Amino acid sequence: MGDPAAPATMGRLERMVLAAVAALLALALFWLRGGLHPEAALDRLARQSPELSVALGNGRPTLVEFYADWCEACRAMAPAMESMERRHRGDLDVVLLNVDNPRWQPQIDSYGVNGIPHLELFDRQGERLGKVIGARSADDLETLGAALVAGQPPPALPGAAPTSALAAEQVAPPQPSITPRAHG
């Protein structure tokens, strides 16, 4: 008949191949979901973000997000932001500024950031077009990105507002106790 050890060896080989395939699939799924860092999309966006001064001066429209690593809404919105940035790469700059970094305090004060996520919208000339406050859906972000790239005014969304051309003396000075990190 045949070698009685052959079927057992074949079964063992099949099990090893199946285990290797399962391990590779698990590794691929782990990597696609951000590895050990659930906020991986937010980290990637922040790392690849151009400098604000460069973005506002390079002739492309710019979307600036004020965020924090601990912000649940910012982390939840990050994959949609990353997807929108990827679709408009080369036509739109996406800049992330962490409100916990003291380097960005002048911008936090200048744009009146008192909650996050807070988006600031700029045209190709670096002129401020408006702001959007609060978490946004993937559709909202895509609509914002497409409008900026097309040179259209920002769409009317809940929590969105155009900027006005008030004279500096008409604007109340920022309140020092109100910061993006305040929860009262």
Residues catalogued as catalytic: 71, 74
78 vs 7, 65, 117, CA distance in Å? 51, 10, 10
Classify strands 62-67 and 118-122 as parallel, antiparallel or unpaired. antiparallel
Per-residue three-class SS string for 1-38: CCCCHHHHHHHHHHHHHHHHHHHHHHHHHHHHCCCCCC
Q: DSSP state, 132?
A: E
